[in-house]
Amino acid sequence: MRTRKAVLRTVAVAGALAALLMIPASASADGTVGVSLSEFNVAPDVGTVEAGEVTFNVENTGNFPHNFYVIRTDLAADALPIVAEGEADLSGLDVVASIEMPFDAGAMETLTANLTAGSYVLICNVKFPDFDGHYGSGMSVSFQVTGDPGAPVVGNAGLAIDGDGGLSASLLAALIAAAVIGIVAIVAAGRVTYVYTRS
């Protein structure tokens, strides 16, 4: 009987912990994006960030020098205008920030920009003589910026951490509810065990 009682209580505690874990983690709001540049690919570690100050940690993981441009545009990543031989024509585009000087394989550069909500394209636009441009070879990717600076970071169930980093009312209520569920589950397990023992 004692063994079954312990098992029931263990299950109840596990259920309570599961209830707590069901609360979704808030989306990251640190504004940091890692980007890998290689032949011929631009690979950010996230595809969406919140509006505001965004820092790109750009690493050249390829074998040739690369550069990096952040362009605000509604065009598809592979639909930017071309000058010649795969080099993107930046003259009519909204280039928000860039690392224009190509940097060598294995190097890392940091670029910080204040981004507003909208659609962006991240590219490498290196063009060496007698070679096709890196943009035309596939070094581009679409990137999204959502929301406004200081807006709540919302999880999958609408729970949020406010702009000052404190718990929102909805998140606090959910945590309290999960704790109550856990207490009720443990008490219920004790009652079930008691009835089972008496029977």
Q: Which of 150, 138, 162, 144 is nearest to 66 (CA)?
A: 138
**By CB neighbour count within 10 A (0-12 exposed, 13-18 middle, 19+ buried), where does 118 fall?**
middle
Mean of all residue pLDDT scores within the chain = 75
Nearest residue to 23 via CA among 146, 165, 177: 177
What's the pLDDT score for residue 193? 39
Answer with the residue of higher pLDDT: 173 or 20.
173
User: Per-residue pLDDT for 131 more than 50?
Assistant: yes
- Between 11 and 46, residue with greater pLDDT: 46
Q: What is the pLDDT of residue 8?
A: 38
Please, where are the H alpha helices in the chain?
A: 2-21, 169-198
Q: Which residue has the tokens 């949020």?
A: 160
By three-state DSSP, how is residue 124 classified?
A: coil
Q: Tell whether pTM > 0.75.
A: no
* CATH 2.60.40.420 domain locations along the chain: 32-150
Q: State how far Cα 32 lies from the chain centre.
A: 9
Confidence at residue 55, expressed as pLDDT on a 0 to 100 scale? 97
Lowest mean pLDDT among 47-51, 111-115, 168-172: 168-172
Comparison of pLDDT for 118 and 27, the residue scoring more: 118
The CATH number corresponding to 32-150 among 3.40.50.1370, 2.60.40.420, 2.40.37.10, 3.40.50.1860 equals 2.60.40.420
Contact 98, 123 (CB under 8 A): no
pLDDT tops 60 at residue 78? yes
pLDDT(51) > 70: yes
- Name the residue with tokens 């640190």: 30
List 119's β-bridge partners, or say none. 144
